[in-house]
Structure 1
Amino acid sequence: MTLLAVERIKLFTTRSPWWCSAVTLAVTIGFAALIVGTAGDEIPITVRVTQFGYSFGLAVVMVLAALAVTTEYRFGTIRTTFQAVPNRTAALLAKTGVVALLALALGEIAAFGSWALANVIRPQDDLALNTVAEWTNVAGVGPVYALTAVIAVAVGILVRHSAGAISILLIYTLAAESLVQLIPNVGDDIHKWLPFNVADKFLTGGMAGAGGEGPPVSTSALSAGWALAYFAGFALVMLVIALTTANKRDA
């Protein structure tokens, strides 16, 4: 508990987490409001469409999580941390846990905020959360943000440079996974198993929004439950690799 308290204090005494948190909520809820508010009356708004801004917030969460660890390497405070806590694994796990909890909270606030605002803008549409899939589409954003934060922290530990870690994360999520589909013959098969495509399957169940509105549909062959387990497993593998590397090299 002491390590968690220390990491919480270190995280919230810098400006970047506050700014990133504010931007995450603003872009996620803002883009959802933009899509819902500009849609014509002839286009029914679904629960899935209210989460249109999910991927924009996800990108900011990755930046927040990467900065949480790379900033310490940049200013050398990570050496002080490891001197105070010789067990590097425990120290880095505490940091990861604090960042993941913040990402979880941001995801839930952003998702339910987007859904609530859509209800205000389009009261004539049925946006009630009546099914498990609809609840997952909204409440599932938090767990996906949390696991994404774990992945981003792991990349930050491995790369140790803010610009490098953020570039890798954003290029991969915003471009690389989609470009894989262009590989002849095997591209689509590989894409089905890429982590963020699988995470989208957990959130959406592979269902498109009404009229084709909303984020692209996941091509993963897994069920929603197995998709979440797969994404969590990927995050765990990344974290284990990062912790192993951190314990073997100089701070």
Structure 2
Amino acid sequence: MTLLAVERIKLFSTRSPYWCSALALALGVGITAIFAAASDGPIPLGLTQIGSGQLAIAVVLVMAALAVTTEYRFQTIRATFLAVPNRTSALVAKTVVVAFIAALLGEIVAFGSWGVAKLISPESDLAINTAAEWRHVAGIGLIYAFGAVMAVAIGILVRQSAGAIAILLVWQMLAENLIGIIPKAGVKIQAWLPFMNASHFLSMGSDSPEQGGQGVDFKLSEWGSFGYFAGIAVALLVVALVVAKRRDA
């Protein structure tokens, strides 16, 4: 518990968590508000998460990567490893803190977006009744949490803010979508890409804007896709911990 408290204090002693949280909230809620206000009629529940599931998560990935790369940049990671010789414990504690904050932020963004849409478009049927609907909204926090784990792992491996952020943003926002244009094999590959599976987990069907990888034949169920996404994040973290333990700080 002491390590978790220390990592929480270190994280919030910098400005990046505050700015990133504010930006994620603004993007998630703001984009939903724009779409709801511009709609001529009732909006579907899927539209309420159009910002939180696509753009706001990119900001969360940046926040998680900065949580570790900033320490490498200013060499405070050396003091951390001197105080806690077990590097694995220190880095796992950091990951847990960042993932928890990301999950909490994800739920705030998701339900904040849903609430704003309900306020702007009261005639819309935005009740959350089915398991798929709950997964679509409440599942945002789970994706943010394991996305943060993945970002921390990349940060540990790369150790440079610019490099880690570039990898994460290109991977999440560009690379996985571009793979789909590869003739024949593209959609087959997409079915096993992590962020595509994250979008599949959040999907409610063809009427949802969050239906990731349209035309992709996912081999896993929605919860199976989440487990796959979480497994890749944890596997990346394990690799990062092994590398961090073997090289100089």
2:5 aligned with 1:5, yes or no? yes
Say whether the 8 Å CA contact 1:89–1:247 is kept in structure 2. Answer: yes
In the TM superposition, what is the alpha-carbon distance from 1:205 to its structure 2 partner?
Answer: 4.0
Aligned to 2:200: 201
Say whether the 8 Å CA contact 1:28–1:53 is kept in structure 2. Answer: yes
Say whether the 8 Å CA contact 2:133–2:204 is kept in structure 1. Answer: no
- 1:238 maps to amino acid: L
TM-score between the two structures when normalised by the length of structure 2? 0.96
Distance 1:34 1:205 in 2: 22
Say whether the 8 Å CA contact 2:197–2:212 is kept in structure 1. Answer: no
Aligned to 1:232: 230
In the TM superposition, what is the alpha-carbon distance from 1:208 to its structure 2 partner?
Answer: 2.7
How do 1:85-96 and structure 2 match up within 5 A? 85-96=84-95
In the TM superposition, what is the alpha-carbon distance from 1:156 to its structure 2 partner?
Answer: 0.2
Of the three residues 228, 245, 248, the one matched with 1:247 is 245
Say whether the 8 Å CA contact 1:74–1:161 is kept in structure 2. Answer: yes
- 2:236 maps to amino acid: M
| Structure 1 stretches of at least 4 aligned residues deviating more than 6 Å after TM superposition | none
Distance 1:102 1:227 in 2: 23
Distance 2:26 2:15 in 1: 17
In the TM superposition, what is the alpha-carbon distance from 1:216 to its structure 2 partner?
Answer: 4.9
How do 1:147-158 and structure 2 match up within 5 A? 147-158=146-157
Say whether the 8 Å CA contact 1:195–1:230 is kept in structure 2. Answer: yes
In the TM superposition, what is the alpha-carbon distance from 1:134 to its structure 2 partner?
Answer: 0.5
Aligned to 1:20: 20
In the TM superposition, what is the alpha-carbon distance from 1:39 to its structure 2 partner?
Answer: 1.1
Distance 1:239 1:147 in 2: 10
Aligned to 1:57: 56
Aligned residue for 2:55, secondary structure, equals helix
In the TM superposition, what is the alpha-carbon distance from 1:228 to its structure 2 partner?
Answer: 1.0
Distance 2:168 2:17 in 1: 17
In the TM superposition, what is the alpha-carbon distance from 1:221 to its structure 2 partner?
Answer: 3.1
Distance 1:22 1:11 in 2: 15
Distance 1:86 1:217 in 2: 42
How do 1:130-149 and structure 2 match up within 5 A? 130-149=129-148
Residues 106-138 of structure 1: per-residue CA shift (max 9 Å, x gap): 000000000011111111111000101001110
Aligned to 2:163: 164
Distance 2:37 2:93 in 1: 41
Distance 2:245 2:185 in 1: 37
Structure 1: 5+ residue stretches without partners: none
Distance 1:39 1:206 in 2: 20
Distance 1:134 1:27 in 2: 21
Distance 1:132 1:58 in 2: 22
**Residues 137-146 or 216-225, more deviating:** 216-225
Q: How many residues align?
A: 245
In the TM superposition, what is the alpha-carbon distance from 1:184 to its structure 2 partner?
Answer: 2.2
Distance 2:14 2:206 in 1: 40
TM-score between the two structures when normalised by the length of structure 1? 0.95
Distance 1:73 1:85 in 2: 16
